[in-house]
Chain A
């Protein structure tokens, strides 16, 4: 685990509250706006930042995140600019852990070694690469661990007893529990079922368990946060950004609206164990 990640979860454990993990798409709708959003996230209540890396064919994402990715690509976003965003953010914040999230092909084309060393240098703490299951660990996961970067794995409702140890091996940072079978932004998860699944995984690892997919409101975040070590919210933020745009371009409301929704859901997360 990177020091930032370790410190972050240690502090949260001390305060007895779950982490609020916020996902948004880098470069959506343009570089400057998304840097402004990113810089505002910690003050709005984000404990960990998940920074989306756009891909033309995001198989595990719903329509909102697909559209955000296409907007970012249209604006010329790419991995070089993703690293630039992180470097700019790190000029004023060297505490908040940053996890980049995306799909493997852009990384594969960039060159996995080059990607990892530049990511580490820019101040990234970990990555979630949706289409790299444990069977493909040699591609990026093992090299990432050698660069002291966290490789955060998704566990899902279909991850059974037999498979769980395989999913947990080589996972670091935290475990991302995908609360539903489906794509991002789909149906809301059932809090009791999520609590049972989280307990089940917790019995087999010391890593924090963060729960995402389908969590949209402060109330949902509060109920999920009672059992989980962290709550991930993405589509709600990405949709808010989309709604604030004028013909696909940022308006004077875009940054504010994004941070307002983050603040309001952060309230829910912070009230989870009160």
Chain B
């Protein structure tokens, strides 16, 4: 088992890259030297003041950090319960939290002397962020995207092309994020010498879950300071949506040892957990091994991986970052599903009440806020990670509402 201190939830992963039984390095031998090289490079980088200050500079001047912590006054009044704050990561350059991770990883790629970037993407938000940093640092970039996602996220496909990236449409499997990740891993095995694989979520073989979490933790660190400045205390609850789980772990991690803060992750319940059309790996899956790590997975009784399904392409993944699996099993965090139609309702409510068009991914978190806030006292505080803006989703929402655009 792990070397976790029982007094802290922030010590993981252990030296084997595991959070309890979760995580690890389940990859083909061809990739092992690369994974170990990345681990070494990251260990040195995170202690190097020059690396950290370059990242901080880019976060501030390129991305626009810190992102605001915004008191959603009208939504709070409407729900007539807890005070609701949004961490506005949708205001970042490129429109989501994904840029936080991409800037950190491109600086690592540069340090390691890699000359080519590959990435996988579902909704296209990570693909856009990867293409953005590739352009900014002069790297060629190939983005693997499931063929189904290429169709339903076409504006992001064009954005990536404008940024100079190449898109490889993946037809294997169901043509979604899991298949894109398989294909990116195949590329990496083939071009292991010169290529840096820029994984978009806090999953995959160690050290990815750790380093993606660290780069995303800027969200929680800022939110923790901001709420103390604005309210003079910590929140009662923090909520974020989880697909692979990078925005959620980014918000959660700095709060893990704050006992009074309840932590809720929201999975995509799709059309309901009874059938197979959902992506609720933590609620309805069980531990297994895929894409380099042990974690909760949607799978059949024989260990074959099921396809996820969600109205939100960004949550459409049958796995979950391994640290979330551990946080679930330890009971520190709670994970709940939200259905497609609930997310759609929440999406529309936020547009009308706050003048913010959210992405469908955080609309899932918002739907959970809408359920919980009315049950709480008026002096209680919720922070929700508003991790992406919804411009990319207007076509999907239009279609779901029967509106022709």
Which residues of A are interface residues toward B (Cβ below 8 A)? 54-60, 62-63, 66, 73, 78-79, 103-110, 130-136, 153-160, 163, 167, 178, 181-183, 186
Could you say which of A55, A57, A130, A136 has the most chain B C-beta atoms within 10 Å of its C-beta? A57
For B83, what are the chain A residues with a Cβ–Cβ distance below 8 Å?
Answer: none
User: Closest approach, in angstroms, between the C-beta of B30 and any C-beta of chain A?
Assistant: 4
**Interface 9-mer from B214-222, B296-304, B332-340, B357-365:** B296-304
Q: Mark B326-348, 1 if CB is under 8 A from A, else 0.
A: 00000000000000000000000
User: Closest approach, in angstroms, between the C-beta of B336 and any C-beta of chain A?
Assistant: 25
For B28, what are the chain A residues with a Cβ–Cβ distance below 8 Å?
Answer: 59-60, 130-131, 133, 154, 156
For B178, what are the chain A residues with a Cβ–Cβ distance below 8 Å?
Answer: 57
Which residues of B are interface residues toward A (Cβ below 8 A)? 16, 24-34, 172-173, 178, 182, 185-186, 189-193, 288-292, 297, 299, 301-305
Q: How many A-B residue pairs have CB under 8 A?
A: 115
Contact of B30 among A78, A79, A178 (CB under 8 A): A178
Bound complex: CA A110 to CA B288 (Å) = 11
Known: A59-B291, A159-B33. A133 touches B302 (CB 8 A): no
Beta-carbon contact of B30 and A105 below 8 Å: no
Bound complex: CA A264 to CA B304 (Å) = 35
Bound complex: CA A134 to CA B28 (Å) = 10
Known: A136-B24, A154-B29, A159-B29. A106 touches B189 (CB 8 A): no
User: Closest approach, in angstroms, between the C-beta of A156 and any C-beta of chain B?
Assistant: 4
Contact of B29 among A103, A104, A108, A133 (CB under 8 A): A133
Beta-carbon contact of A60 and B189 below 8 Å: yes
Beta-carbon contact of A105 and B305 below 8 Å: yes
Beta-carbon contact of A57 and B182 below 8 Å: yes
Contact of B26 among A104, A158, A181 (CB under 8 A): A104
For A110, what are the chain B residues with a Cβ–Cβ distance below 8 Å?
Answer: 302-303
For B179, the closest partner residue in chain A by CB is A57
Beta-carbon contact of B192 and A181 below 8 Å: yes
For B182, what are the chain A residues with a Cβ–Cβ distance below 8 Å?
Answer: 57-59
Beta-carbon contact of A56 and B305 below 8 Å: yes
Contact of B185 among A59, A79, A107, A178 (CB under 8 A): A59
User: Closest approach, in angstroms, between the C-beta of B374 and any C-beta of chain A?
Assistant: 41
User: Closest approach, in angstroms, between the C-beta of A191 and any C-beta of chain B?
Assistant: 20
Bound complex: CA A73 to CA B291 (Å) = 20
A-B complex: 5 closest residue pairs judged by Cβ atoms: A109-B303, A106-B303, A182-B190, A56-B304, A156-B30
Could you say which of B290, B301, B302 has the most chain A C-beta atoms within 10 Å of its C-beta? B302
Bound complex: CA A107 to CA B173 (Å) = 21
Beta-carbon contact of A181 and B186 below 8 Å: no
Known: A135-B32, A181-B193. A105 touches B289 (CB 8 A): yes
Beta-carbon contact of B288 and A109 below 8 Å: yes
Beta-carbon contact of B290 and A108 below 8 Å: no
For A132, the closest partner residue in chain B by CB is B26
Could you say which of B26, B173, B292 has the most chain A C-beta atoms within 10 Å of its C-beta? B26
For B292, what are the chain A residues with a Cβ–Cβ distance below 8 Å?
Answer: 131
For B288, what are the chain A residues with a Cβ–Cβ distance below 8 Å?
Answer: 105, 108-109
Beta-carbon contact of B302 and A109 below 8 Å: yes
